[in-house]
Structure 1
Amino acid sequence: METGVEPEDIGQDPEYAGRLEYHGDKENGYTLTIRDLRESDSATYKFRFITDQTRGRYYGDPGVTLSVTGLQVKVTGGHQDKTLTCSTTCTLTDNPTYIWYKNGHIVKEITSSLYSDYFSDADSYSCAVKGHEDLHSAAVCKKCWSVTYTHQSICALKGSTVDISCSYTYPSYHEIKHAFWFTKWSGMEAEDLSSVPGYEGHIEYLGDKKSDCTLRITDLRLNDSAGYRFRFITSGGKVAGSPVSLTVTGNLSHIYYCNYLIKGSHTDTVVYLMEKYQI
């Protein structure tokens, strides 16, 4: 920290709004919890306290370095006998247990990040860390097609921002030509939301041309309630996912009623909203 430069309280930083929680007291110290981690949160964090004494300003040095990483499946081996590695850009703490998924279903829980078996080219594989099963890696496959959503149904408050998390797979020898979200068909073709009047500056495609297809909708309006579908076109085919149902309400009590109606997924949706929007 530079001499004479006042440190910035991250509690006042808009990037951390609604994501920080302090635990502790003035006698025993504080613990900081950061929710909904982003790669941009990677930094060195230092705790500072100020007393009523002259020059009574102190901070911990060298601080705690936090590295935020995502999971990625890497494939090595022969034609069919392959080894999958649940890879990260940094070493995870607490000796995690890795969960392996085949075509979306759990097949193994192990403490090693390696998983070896006989694999079919038509199957898809992904991994997660136990306790954080909602944070899957993108699925990998050689000859498969899929669109997977974290939540099939979402309830959100008017004026808030929602991320519709999504991942997709396609044959490794194909090239992505176009990827977009839509709610309606125009004739025989899906209508790209980014070209629909009223959505300019209102939606943001956070995905890429590899595996992530997350859509962000800001400043939600009541008429944003719809079924949202992701579609991608490759050099050898076209695929569209099933709809994600988004319900926008202006009344907080309607959130819980809405979730009650979404049988089988209302618990996940409530937790998602409470964590993301601090309801």
Structure 2
Amino acid sequence: MALFLKYFSGLPGNSCYRVSYPTRTMCVLQGTSVDISCTYSHPPDATLKYTYWFKWRADQDPRDLQADSEYKGRAEYPVEETGRSTLRITDLRHTDSAEYRFTFKTSYYEWKGILHGTTLTVTGLRVEVTPVAMVTEGQRVTLTCITSCPLADKPSYIWYQNNGPVTGSENPENQLVLDPVGPQHAGSYSCSVRNYAHLRSPEETLTVQCTMNNSSSLTTVAVGTVAVLLTMVIFLLIPPSLHVSCDHAFHQLNLCVLFILNEMCLFFTVLQGNDDWTVTCTSSNVCSVRGSTVDISCTFKYPEKQHDLSTTVLETLWFTKEDRNQKPVDLLSDADYTGRVESSCGEISCFWSSCNRKCTLSIRDLRQSDSAVYNFRFKTNQPGGEHTANPGVALTVTGTL
């Protein structure tokens, strides 16, 4: 519980003006409602003139939310009694993510809401498939219902395959594990939170490729072994000037045999699959002082090649919220951070079949409203090659008044 006190010895009654916010941070699902409350007190001989809630903005004066066009028809004060007030916001949007404060005025003094209130983060749902959205039969696949911050009250999650509920999928865990995955698991997946089935995540498609039977696998391995032996013999016997070209490919189970017989050439190579996709951040919690600068770093890892396609990183971004289409809002284009953020990434380092790269977010002139969960996301040209740090980095900005 957060308790904030302020004393004014020069006021009549020589008593205490106080505002207390029971909850400092809240994470709520987009499209639902939230109640933010506080208690307050003033000298008994002071007459209360008015009370209201406002969205705190560093560069703007407080404005009653009920008179704010952004919140028209969505903000109300259902509990208004002596010493207690509640703000209710309905049909929550991503743009509602902000810090909310309470203010009141008496016949002696106006409380301007200068102390920190309750920070609200509005999040949507999305599905992430690990290792990737295209897998081979028999693998272990984990689907995760992701939010940009931990939802309150530990809700139960429900999974849907091809718009129908997955039997027995409702549980407090936000993951659906398919082990081993089979052709029956292929399809489109989405998730929702219990009691909010109408607020499902966008669908994510899972593709399952079938494997060969045991006899076919043994045949493929045998062909590969023979190819290696023949290649060694042929290259010892044929003239060095012979033009060598291999333009036919036969591959299965990560075994690739390249051969062409009309020019007496056999060439053999083995490709090893790598589905290692990770995002690792240096710390899950960071605390910095208001007005200072903070650096947040994450390193992401991905396979250099997959499904015979070289991996190319198309985009990297940092975000704290999503837009109406549940797409991450790049901090570099977020008006709340204009001129205060920079994002930089180091060189790509590849070893064997895996590559990694470190990216750093710098935020200058830290404000109290910068307290949030910062997520890093990168996108590649691979099917399902979009990955986000989970969990992100929770930044808390502190300071004295």
| TM-score where L is the length of structure 1 | 0.47
Q: Who wins on radius of gyration, i.e. which is larger?
A: 2
Higher strand share: 2
| TM-score where L is the length of structure 2 | 0.33
